[in-house]
Amino acid sequence: MKKFKLDSLVRENVKRLKPYSSARDEFKDFDRDMVFLDANENPFENGVNRYPDPHQRSLKSVLAEQKGVQTAQILLGNGSDEVLDLIFRAFCEPHKDNVITLPPTYGMYKVLAETNAVENREVLLWEDFQPVVEHILQRSDDHTKLLFLCSPNNPTGNGFDPEKVEELIIKFNGLVIIDEAYIDFSGKEGWLSRLGEFPNLIITQTLSKAYGMAGVRLGICYASEAIITILKKIKPPYNVNQLTQQRALERVAQPNRVQQEVARILRERDNLIRALGQIPFVQKIYPTDANFVLVRVDKADLRYQQLVSHGVVVRNRSSQPLCDNTLRFTIGTEQENKKLIEVLRTI
């Protein structure tokens, strides 16, 4: 195995940085009855008049227990989008470093690369939407800091072959980020249980999909304590607000309810796939490990417009490489899916 030196990947300014120390940073006993006159807050209670815990201790301790990691291996953000942005800002020198992404994939990696003035090297997935290990390794050089693997992948829906992922983690000379936004819909195991084996592995998850909380914005990053410590240096202290911490805590404390909803979505997914097989202009239904299904149709632009005019909005992914004439359908409620099928039958 290659030698891994985290220090050589961190930006110089971040190495030197001392994190901003907020008024509440040193204070650990949030539950004790104290008089807080340290942060210039309005003292009249309304539920949100105090600054939130910058370390989100309660939420992290529940997540740590459920996922079998240490709290020091967790960083929380305002959605995964913020977490991913922090990773760019900690490790990628603008106008100098580069990252590798694997289209067709989640559009945010490219946006974040461009926002941070970091070169985005695109290495297409194979026709089966699996990564091509040799192509990826060939495209990386001394300035390649990050490799983004989205598994299950958006918009294709498939999970990546674990042997290929493992080979990439081992051989890639930088940090490998596995975006597991859809992992709770997949029958296959994610990479969290193997986090301790790989010092260059970062796993991101989110409450936006299976947990049904896209509106509160909570993204989760799991990595070695060393990586998390670096990301914490540049994290805005109050990036996860009080309301989000509360609602997220309530939700993660009820894993059974989340599981029941996931089970219903998966049943609906099977029903939708069966019905799609009967639609004459549906040419291919791609295998999916997520809460959506990618289909190839005869004329995607036409079908998209027809669906909209019947009141159903789906995602046209035709502009993505390898995705000519494809539409992505999110699995909705039973009624919503029925409506989709009904419209597909009439157009």
Site size for ligand PLP (CB under 6 A): 13
Nearer to ligand PLP, 148 or 341 (CB): 148
- Beta carbon nearer to ligand PLP, 81 or 184: 81
Contacting residue, 51, 106, 198, 222, with ligand PLP by CB under 6 A? 106
Query: In sequence order, what DSSP letters do the residues of 22-76 get, joined into one string?
Result: -TTTT---TTS-----SS----S-SSSSSPP-TT-HHHHHHHHHHHT--GGGEEE
Q: What is the dihedral of CA 233, 236, 239, 241, to 10 degrees?
A: 110
Among 97, 179, 268, 289, binds ligand PLP (CB under 6 A): 179
Question: Of 106 and 160, which has the nearer Cβ to ligand PLP?
Answer: 106
242 φ, ψ to 5°? -55, -45
Contact status, residue 177 vs residue 84, Cβ threshold 8 Å: yes
Told to check if 292 binds ligand PLP by CB under 6 A, we report no
Binding piece for ligand PLP, criterion CB under 6 A, among 22-30, 157-165, 205-213, 281-289: 205-213
Position 79 contacts ligand PLP (CB under 6 A)? yes
In angstroms, give the least distance from the CB of 18 to ligand PLP.
28
If you ran DSSP here, which 8-state letter would residue 332 be given?
A: -
The yes or no reply on residue 214 touching ligand PLP (CB under 6 A) is yes
- Give the bridge partners for 302, in sequence order: none
Query: Would you say 314 or 344 has its CB closer to ligand PLP?
Result: 314
| Nearest to ligand PLP of 118, 150 (CB atom) | 150
Q: Using CA atoms, how far apart are residues 313 and 85, in angstroms rounded to an integer? A: 29
Whole-angstrom distance, CA of residue 201 vs CA of residue 224: 8
Is 340 a binding residue for ligand PLP by CB under 6 A? The answer is: no
Minimal distance, residue 213 CB to ligand PLP, in Å: 9
Residue 333: closest CA among 248, 246, 272, 278: 272
Question: Are residues 89 and 118 in contact, defined by beta-carbon separation less than 8 angstroms?
Answer: no
* Cβ-based nearer residue to ligand PLP, 104 or 174: 104
Shortest distance, position 55 Cβ to ligand PLP, whole Å:
20
What is the rounded distance in angstroms from the CA atom of residue 59 to the CA atom of residue 71?
A: 9
Residue 215, interface with ligand PLP (CB under 6 A)? no
Indicate which single residue of 206, 224, 244, 288 sits in contact with ligand PLP (rule: CB under 6 A): 206
The 130-149 site mask, x for binding ligand PLP (CB under 6 A), equals --------------------
Q: What is the amino acid identity at position 218?
A: L
Taking the C-alpha atoms of residue 231 and residue 10, their distance in angstroms, rounded to an integer, is 10
Chain residues that interact with ligand PLP, rule: CB under 6 A: 79-81, 106, 150, 154, 179, 181, 206, 208-209, 214, 219
